[in-house]
Amino acid sequence: MVNLKINNIPVTVPEGTTILEAARIAHVEIPTLCYLKDVACVGSCRMCLVEATGARGLVAACVYPVTEGMEVQTNTPKCRKSRKTSLELLLSKHKKKCLSCERNHNCELQRLSAEYNADEDYFEGEPFDKPLDTSAPYVVRDQDKCINCNRCVAACQKQSVGAIGPIGRGYNVHVGSAFEMPLMESVCVGCGQCIVACPVGALKERTTVDDVWDAIANPEKKVVFFTAPSVRATLGEAFDMPVGTNVEGKMVAAIRRLGNVEVFNMDVTADLTIMEEATELLARIQNGGTMPMFTSCCPGWVKFVEQKYPEFIPNLSTCKSPQEMFGALLKTYYCEKNGIDPANLYVVSIIPCTAKKYECTRPEMGGEVDTALTTRELARMIKTAGIKFTELPDEEFDNPFATATGGGAIFGATGGVMEAALRVAAKALDGNFEIVDFPEVRGTSPIKEATYNVAGNTVRVAVASGLANAEEILESIKAGTRNYDFVEIMACPGGCVNGGGQPTLPDSIRNTANLKELRANALYKSDKDNTLRSSDKSPVVEVLYNEYFGAPNSHKAHEILHTHYTADKRI
């Protein structure tokens, strides 16, 4: 342990702790721009400079380790002047279109500039004339707003994708894809982790909010929304509610007030996915199919396989994701039941992920989902409509797609798909199996492994979140050092609760709170409170099979609920 003082406050911390980390214990906030917990720590923005005994000049608190007896001052005139100058230099290269920026009032550069009274015109920069990169259907890059903090680069590298990086040197350095190619032509998988890492408005989702407003206003269109499991655990953050607040009832009420729309629960098709996926897994185990089987719910992960590990495409489950299953279900069963022309049904998916926007455009999916909106886009629609979100009463989803099980709810957390599948598969192997909690696959650890013995069958499973951890799993399978029967992969660290379409929170929260755990806890509580825990107990799924599909993995189910994937040799 090391003893030091920060602003004359005694602090004791473990050896190796940085000044920035020690300051938090003393309840002192040191400003940062390039630093982001678990993502980036390079000390390049110079916003966290402090004075410390034993150091020559100012030091970067995010990378400078504490020493015994050190005395740190974080708020001296020298520190404040340095930070103000750094801000004014950054502002000279930043396109200051704050009023029309997606991040207005939620921008770290804007907040710090106000706090330090920085003059945005103190230094004159060059003209802002770099074109927007709108090549991808899920993200827009505005190079003129980039402040070269490289947090997006670090996030992409942490994902083992490397679609973007610094180009050039000195004053001319900028972030881009190799050979200045458009993002859609790069190896980007659309996970959106770069967006939530960006402290300014240089990266944002490619919005289709105006299309949705147009559809709602069109009397010839019937508009239906459905919401992904994790959105209820994060939407409240956009309205300053505590992280991990379950706002399912308010979310439904808010969407219903956007116009003449119906609101359905995507947990229903999470349950349907489990029925199809668990049945597929058992068939592969019993019939000698391609093993191990990988989940295919996450389009960022699927694209990663198609580009970098095409040899594993046969291992992917053929099941569509819950989003695409719902779209297919609405454009077939729902339209037939209600005498609706599918061309007049406008389907809106509310998702935590930017890769889902890409998934909607995949020809293999048939265009059943007309558009996907991120959690952030839904929040903006609610605010535009003047809806007082926190004052809304709780309301229920619309029938016939309202009731789902706890197995569907936990889809949004890493390990949730695995646990939901194990509940159904174990019961299929042993009709008397009653266990529904599988704690071994829960939690935010990057890789989790477990072995289960059911009715004489040994099932070896693994769960990984974050594509670097997925890569470790794939490489070990190729090397023969790991052997599994079933593997769940989610592209975003922590799963959908930490997706690239979730609310962008200030660094003061992101660098201190465990977002992944707090958000996931809301989903697990929803599961625990549900009287229906296993997807095979869903009354909606039972009706769907009795009235329409016949049985899991039937010919009709394969036609509507399954798909295929193709190698994309960009690497």
pLDDT tens digits, residue range 190-209? 999 999 999 999 999 999 99
What are the start-end ranges of the E strands in 275-431? 293-294, 345-351, 371-374
Catalytic residues, which ones? 277, 280, 297, 317, 356, 359, 364, 496
Q: Report whether pLDDT(571) > 90.
A: no
194 and 217 in one domain? Answer: no
Cα distance between residue 83 and residue 81, in whole Å? 5
In a domain, 277, yes or no: yes
User: Is there a domain that residue 396 lies in?
Assistant: yes
Above 80 in pLDDT, residue 227?
A: yes
155 in a structural domain: yes
Give CA separation, 520 vs 415, 500, 523, in Å: 10, 16, 5
Q: Is residue 172 part of a domain?
A: yes
Whether 465 and 230 have beta carbons less than 8 Å apart is answered as no
In this structure, what CATH number is given to the domain that contains residue 12?
3.10.20.740
Given 173, 202, 231, the domain boundary residue is: 202
In angstroms, the Cα distances linking 170 to 35, 82, 123, 166, 200 are: 20, 20, 17, 11, 21
Same domain? For 165 and 222 the reply is: no
Start-to-end C-alpha separation, the chain: 47
pLDDT-wise least confident of 164-173, 298-307, 322-331, 413-422: 164-173
Q: Which two tokens stand for residue 90?
A: 């950054």
Digit-coded pLDDT (tens) for 242-299:
999 999 999 999 999 999 999 999 999 999 999 999 999 999 998 999 999 999 999 9
For the chain, percent of residues with pLDDT exceeding 70: 99
Average the pLDDT over 403-425 and give the result. 97
Query: What residues contact 33, with CB distance under 8 A and at least 6 apart?
Result: 45, 47, 90, 108, 109, 112, 147, 149, 199
Determine contact, residues 407/429, Cβ cutoff 8 Å.
no
Specify whether 242 is located in the same domain as 180.
Answer: no
Cα 514 to chain center, whole Å?
Answer: 14
Where b means 16+ CB within 10 Å and e means fewer, 347-364 reads bbbbbbbbbbbbbbebee
- Is 491 within a domain? yes
| Residue 59: both structure tokens together | 């030091």
| Chain segment 318-359, per-residue pLDDT in tens | 999 999 999 999 999 999 999 999 999 999 999 999 999 999
Same domain flag for 143 and 32: no
The Cα 195–Cα 204 span in angstroms is: 6
Total domain count, the chain? 3
Instruction: Of 149, 151, 125, 31, give the one whose Cα is nearest residue 84.
Output: 31
- Strand ranges, E, within 164-260: 165-167, 174-176, 203-205, 222-227
Say yes or no: 171 and 222 in one domain: no
Q: Are residues 197 and 219 in the same domain?
A: no
Q: What percent of the chain has pLDDT over 90?
A: 94
Q: What is the mean pLDDT of the chain?
A: 96
pLDDT score of 494 more than 80? yes
Mean pLDDT of 7-35: 95
- At residue 172, the pLDDT reads 85
Query: How far apart, in whole angstroms, are the C-alpha atoms of residue 87 and residue 120?
Result: 8
- What value does the mean pLDDT take over residues 535-563? 97
Q: Which CATH number belongs to the domain containing residue 120 in this structure?
A: 3.30.70.20
Q: Name the residue with higher pLDDT: 172 or 155.
A: 155
Expressed as residue numbers, the domain containing 9 is: 2-75
What is the CB-side half-sphere exposure of residue 260 using CA atoms within 13 A?
10
Only one residue has tokens 């740190």, namely 72
Q: Could you tell me if 270 and 329 lie in one domain?
A: yes
User: Residues with Cβ < 8 Å from 234, sequence gap 6 or more?
Assistant: 352, 375, 497, 502, 503, 519
Same-domain status, 350 and 326: yes
> Among 202, 229, 252, which residue terminates a domain?
202
CATH code at 503?
3.40.50.1780
Residue-level pLDDT at 531: 96
| Domain annotation covers residue 498 | yes
Evaluate if residue 170 carries a pLDDT over 90. Answer: no
pLDDT at 126 over 90: no
Residue 569, pLDDT > 70, answer no
pLDDT tens, position by position, 429-467: 888 888 899 999 999 999 999 999 988 889 999 999 999
Residue 233 clears pLDDT 80, i.e. is over it: yes
Look at residues 202, 225, 251 and tell me which one is the last residue of a structural domain: 202
Mean pLDDT of 117-128: 92
- Per DSSP, what are the bridge partners of residue 59? 50
pLDDT at 403: 97
- Peptide bond just before 503 cis, omega within 30 deg: no
The verdict on 524 and 542 lying in the same domain is yes
238 and 289 within one domain: yes
Cβ count within 10 A of residue 123: 13
pLDDT at 570 over 80: no
Instruction: Please list, in sequence order, all residues whose beta carbon lies within 8 angstroms of the beta carbon of residue 248, skipping any fewer than 6 positions away.
Output: 232, 394, 526
> In terms of Cα–Cα distance, which of 226, 258, 192, 240 is closest to 506?
240
Q: Determine the pLDDT at residue 279.
A: 96
403 and 541 assigned to the same domain: yes
Same domain, 324 and 348: yes
In a domain, 569, yes or no: no
Say if 81 falls within a structural domain: no
**Once rounded to an integer, what is the mean pLDDT over residues 154-165?**
96
